[in-house]
Amino acid sequence: MRIAMIGTGYVGLVSGACFSEFGTQVVCVDKDADKIARLKRGEMPIFEPGLEQLVAKNVEAGRLSFTTDLGEALEGCDAVFIAVGTPSRRGDGHADLSYVFAAAEEVASRLDHPAVLVTKSTVPVGTGRKVKEIADRVRPGGDIEVASNPEFLREGSAIEDFMRPDRVVIGIDDGGTARETLRALYRPLFLNETPILFTQLETAELIKYAANAFLAVKITFINEIADLCEKVGADVQQVARGIGLDGRIGSKFLHAGPGYGGSCFPKDTLALVRTAQEAAAPVRIVETVVEVNEARKKRMAEKVVAHCGGSVEGLTVAVLGLTFKPNTDDMRDSPSLAIVPALQAGGATVRAYDPEGMAEARRMLDGVVWCEDTYEALEGADCLVLVTEWNVFRNLDLDRMKQLMTQPRMVDLRNIYKPEDMAEAGIDYLSVGRPAAPAGA
C-alpha cells in the first residue's frame, strides 16, 4: 500500500513515520522547501522522543520519503492524508480551514486515479462534507472518496500513542472502498485487537473535539478544586487520588497546575464552543472551561508575586520550564507565555531555562535572560518558579540551589516536591492546592 501525507508538521510527520513503520510506502509532501531539505538530511523540525530514529530507519529502508512535488507524492497512492494546520481564526475562534480546503482542491486537481482523501487534521463537524464537495467539483465522477481519521497523539509520547492507541476512529460514508482501504492500512493495529470504530463523517469529527474538551474539563476541574484546597487546608493530590481511584472517574488528567496549553486543547475547546453556538446547542461547561483556564494562567503570576511579599519590583525570578509540557519543544499557549510577561510587567528580571524549548521561546518572549542550564538560571534569583515538570528538574541539588539564590524561595506550579522536604531544607516553598509544611517539619 502507498499513501501520501500532506503536511510535515507534528501530526503529518509522526503519522507518516509510524505508517511507514507498519510497512506502508509513505511520501510526505510539504510546500516548505527548507523543511523538506532538512528532513532529507535527517534533521527533525520538531522535538519528539524517538522520532529522529524512526524516520532515519524507515528512510533507509526505502519506505519513507519527502518531497515538495505533490504530483510525485500522489503517484499510485491508495490514500491521501491531509495533515495541515487548523489554527484558531483571528477574531472569532473558529478553526481556520483554508489550508485544508486548499489541499483538498489541489489534490483533486492532480489525482489521476481513484483514491481515498482522508482528513487527519483536527477539523470541525461538517468539514468532511465540504471536502467531498470540493473533490466532486474539481474532479467530477465521484472516484475520490472522503474519510475522517482524527489523531489522538499526545506530544511527548506520540509514537507510542500511534503504535498502541486506545482506539482508531474512522468516519466514512456507506458504500465505496474507503472502509476496506483504511482497514487494510490499519491492519497491524487490527491484528493487535485495537478497537477500530467506523462512524459517519460528522461523528468522527465530533469525537475528536468531544474527547479533547472532556480532558480539558478534567484539568480545569482539578485546578479549581486545588484553589478550594488552598482555602480550606486540604491536599489536592490526595483529593485527586481519592476520586481517581473511582473507576468511573479515573486518575488521568487530575494533576493540578498552571492550566492547560499546547496545540490542541486551547484551539479545540474554542472551536467546539463556536460550532455549538452556531448550531444553537451551546456547550456551557466548555465555555466556562475556556474562560477559567485563561484566567488561571494569569493568576499564576499573581501567586508568585504574593509569595514574594506582594511585589517583584527589582527582584530576579528564575523560571524553569517554558514549554506547555515536558518532552516537547512546543510553546503554543504555554502558561509561561502569560507568567513571564506578567512578572516582567511587575518589575522582575526573569532568568529562564528549558531543555528543549529555548529556540521557540526566544521567538515568543522578549527581555528574558536566557540561561544554558538549570543552575545558571538560579544564580542571584530571589525566587524560583517551576513551570514545566521536565525530569531534569525533579531532583534539584537543594544545597547548591540555596547557595546560588539570593533568597531560597520556590513556587512549584507542578507539585514536584514535597512541602515537608522543602521545609526541612530551609526553602520557602509554595505549591498548588497543598498546605505548606510548618517550619522545621
Kindly list the catalytic residues: 264
Burial of 395 (C-beta count, 10 Å sphere; 0-12/13-18/19+)? exposed
Is residue 398 within 8 A of residue 423, CB to CB? The reply is no
Mind giving me the DSSP string for 241-285? HHHHTSTTT-STT----S---SSSHHHHHHHHHHHHHHTT---HH
From CA 92, how far away is CA 294, in angstroms rounded? 16
Mind giving me the DSSP string for 160-187? HHHHS-S-EEEE--SSSSHHHHHHHHTH
Q: Rounded to whole angstroms, what are the CA distances from 106 to 103, 172, 231?
A: 5, 21, 57
From CA 105, how far away is CA 135, in angstroms rounded? 6
Is residue 393 within 8 A of residue 320, CB to CB? The reply is yes
From CA 119, how far away is CA 82, in angstroms rounded? 5
Handedness of CA 210, 215, 221, 227 (dihedral sign): negative
For the chain, the helix, strand and coil percentages under 3-state DSSP, each to the nearest 5? 45, 15, 40
Question: Running DSSP on this structure, what letter comes out for residue 72?
Answer: H
From CA 162, how far away is CA 155, in angstroms rounded? 11
From CA 367, how far away is CA 369, in angstroms rounded? 7
- The three-state secondary structure class of 234 is coil
Residue 58: all three cell numbers together: 524507515
* Bridge partners for 66 per DSSP: 28
From CA 140, how far away is CA 333, in angstroms rounded? 42
Residue 31: all three cell numbers together: 510546500
Is residue 100 within 8 A of residue 121, CB to CB? The reply is yes
* Bridge partners for 199 per DSSP: 171
